Amino acid sequence: MIEQSKITSLLQNLDERTKELNCIYGVDETLNDFDSSIEVVMKKLVEIIPSGWRFNDICVAKVCFEDIEIFSEGYKETELKLSSKILIDNKSVGEISVVYVKPIKTEKRIFLPEEVNLLNTIASKLSNFFLLKRLRQTIKNLENQNISQLSLKEDNVYKWLKDLNLSDDEIKKFTNIQIKFKKGETMCKQGSLTSYTMLLTEGFSKNYLEGVQEHGFNFSIVKPFNFIGLSSLYGSNVYNFSGSALTPCNVYIIENIFFKKIILNNSDFAQNIFTWYCNTTERHLKRLSCIANKQSLGRIAEILLYLKEDVFDSNIIKGYISRKDIAELVAISTESAVRILSELKKDNIINIINNNDIEIVNDKLLKTLSLAG
């Protein structure tokens, strides 16, 4: 038979996990309220968060975001404090803390490992919330300023959208909100909530899966007249990848509710969108097959051809596609990518011009290397 002490310990552990789950559910529900102000959301959070901790009757919380600080009732600083940073683009924008306001006698550590993970999870959710809140405010400001009117009948964006069988009224709604990103800025964040799709019309960006220790996997270089985030249209309402601007970029923001409405009512547009999506998925699968079945040299050759034919439509691959970007497109180390590119240059298959631009000199041999793998 199981000893009574073990049963008691097991029940206590289950009780703690239940409190943590209920806390997370409460946090998620609160963070889905984008209509309330940041202050209102933070006030709700500091009342919910202490409920997830063991000694919740003497636990208080504080949430700081930029110049806003919100405390739960009875908050005071003590040595029994646990904190976690709130990060946006790897920069600290705030902090979340829980504090026990009275001394505690316990055989275990003051804060359990599960409680540390809980606070870090809440901090991550807050980061995504504040990031999306900022973007929604930017969108609202742009709508109010009305700075994104297209010159219809003359604009390339209009012509491209017209070819997708959108009406003039639908095109106006598609291009109602315009945002510009600087080089290096995050355009979307893996795991963050989203309610819109982006249409890139100027500049180049990259989509990538975040890894550990700054190692990720670039699965797409996005050129003008491509959608970003379409995979979240009918799936979960979060980004499954991150995206950043390789050059200054111009995008139009399209609310998913409106996007779905057009697909439902405009069958010609729906067919064009699904054709575009299927072609994009086919290219992604082709590159994954390359990574799975080819050696490093064959992968590099394949990706150089992809950049030449699908991205730039030119023998010149621009230098803003860094060596690190190329390495992450083929899932090898940057050092290995640099070494292979140097060998290709030595064999006069490619040339390096303007310091960083890559010129494909021997297209035929590069294709042979790609096929040989």
Model confidence pLDDT, tens digit, residues 147-156: 444 454 447 8
Give the model's pLDDT for residue 6: 61
Give the model's pLDDT for residue 148: 45
CATH level 2 (architecture), domain 4-132:
2-Layer Sandwich (3.30)
| Contact indicator for 366, 360 with CB cutoff of 8 Å | yes
Q: For residues 137 and 40, what is the distance between their CA atoms, to the nearest angstrom?
A: 16
Q: What is the pTM of this model?
A: 0.59
Contacts of 80 (CB under 8 A, 6+ apart): 99, 100, 103, 104, 110
pLDDT band at 1 (very low <50, low <70, confident <90, very high): very low
Residue entry with tokens 């390359």: 290
Q: How would you write the chain as a 3-class SS string?
A: CCCHHHHHHHHHHHHHHHHHHHHHHHHHHHHCCCCCCHHHHHHHHHHHHHHHCCCHHHEEEEEEECCEEEECCCCCCCCCEEEEEEEECCEEEEEEEEEECCCCCCCCCCCCHHHHHHHHHHHHHHHHHHHHHHHHHHHHHHHHHCCCCCCCCCCHHHHHHHHCCCCHHHHHHHCCCEEEECCCCEEECCCCECCEEEEEEECCEEEEECCCCCCCEEEEEECCCEEECHHHCCCCCECCCEEEECCCEEEEEEEHHHHHHHHHHCHHHHHHHHHHHHHHHHHHHHHHHHHHHCCHHHHHHHHHHHHHHHHHCCCEECCCCCHHHHHHHHCCCHHHHHHHHHHHHHCCCEEEECCCEEEECCHHHHHHHHHHC
pLDDT band at 61 (very low <50, low <70, confident <90, very high): very high
Structure tokens at 319: 């230098």
Instruction: Compute the average pLDDT of residues 131-156.
Output: 63
Neighbouring C-beta atoms of residue 257, cutoff 10 Å:
9
Domain spans of the chain, in order of start: 4-132, 151-258, 294-372
pLDDT digits (tens, 9 = 90+) for 306-316: 888 888 888 89
Give the model's pLDDT for residue 115: 87
Q: How far is CA 10 from the centre of its chain?
A: 38
pLDDT digits (tens, 9 = 90+) for 282-341: 887 887 787 778 888 888 988 888 888 888 888 899 988 889 888 888 888 889 989 999
Q: Is the pLDDT of residue 190 over 70?
A: yes
Which of 3.30.1490.20, 3.20.20.80, 2.60.120.10, 3.90.420.10 would CATH assign to domain 151-258?
A: 2.60.120.10
Give the model's pLDDT for residue 271: 92
Residue entry with tokens 């919330």: 129
pLDDT band at 62 (very low <50, low <70, confident <90, very high): very high
Contacts of 207 (CB under 8 A, 6+ apart): 218, 219, 220, 222, 228, 241, 242, 243
Give the model's pLDDT for residue 5: 60
Q: Is the pLDDT of residue 372 over 50?
A: yes
| Contact indicator for 243, 188 with CB cutoff of 8 Å | yes
- Mean pLDDT of the residues in the chain: 84
Which of 1.10.10.10, 3.90.550.10, 3.40.50.1370, 3.90.79.10 would CATH assign to domain 294-372?
A: 1.10.10.10
pLDDT band at 143 (very low <50, low <70, confident <90, very high): low
Neighbouring C-beta atoms of residue 195, cutoff 10 Å:
14
Give the model's pLDDT for residue 252: 92
Choose between 211 and 238: higher pLDDT.
238
